[in-house]
């Protein structure tokens, strides 16, 4: 999952694979500093209309939107929307996605990879305070006792 304020804002069509199934970001363009390959969900691929590889997705030219682009758009949306909860931020969607990935996969490693974290401890902070079961019954020791 990409971070909205830089990684998404600076996306160019050339960051996508030819079939739009993945996004490749160089380490110089993301917070972790490592190259990342992120899958693109089919519901996103369906609405994408690729253009010139060097062009930004949001401006349609070589330059990315200003750093406050999403902050301003989010502020306008919050004023009109009746769907948002108090205190919900644009970053809330990233947190919700992280929790969903963990619940579906049960894998801290997959969560770490999806979020682009360099340290698993950062990924674990997304799960603190949640009632997310980490262990399943089959993870527990099996005692064969003939009492």
Enter the pTM of the model: 0.73
138 pLDDT more than 90? no
Q: Which two tokens stand for residue 82?
A: 């009746």
- pLDDT tens for 56-68 read 999 999 999 999 9
Q: Does the pLDDT value for residue 147 go beyond 60?
A: no
Q: What angle do CA 78, 80, 82 make, to 5 degrees?
A: 80
């Amino acid at each position: 999952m990409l971070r909205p304020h830089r990684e998404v804002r600076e996306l160019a069509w050339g960051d996508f694979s030819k079939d739009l199934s993945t996004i490749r970001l160089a380490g110089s363009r993301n917070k972790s500093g490592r190259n990342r390959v992120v899958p693109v969900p089919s519901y996103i691929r369906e609405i994408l209309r690729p253009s010139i590889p060097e062009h930004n997705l949001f401006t349609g030219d070589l330059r990315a939107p200003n750093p406050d682009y999403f902050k301003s758009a989010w502020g306008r949306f919050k004023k009109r929307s009746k769907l948002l909860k108090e205190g919900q931020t644009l970053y809330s969607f990233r947190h919700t996605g992280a929790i969903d990935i963990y619940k579906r996969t049960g894998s801290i490693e997959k969560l770490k990879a999806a979020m682009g974290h360099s340290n698993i401890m950062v990924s674990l902070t997304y799960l603190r305070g949640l009632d997310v079961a980490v262990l399943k019954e089959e993870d527990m020791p099996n005692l064969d006792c003939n009492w």
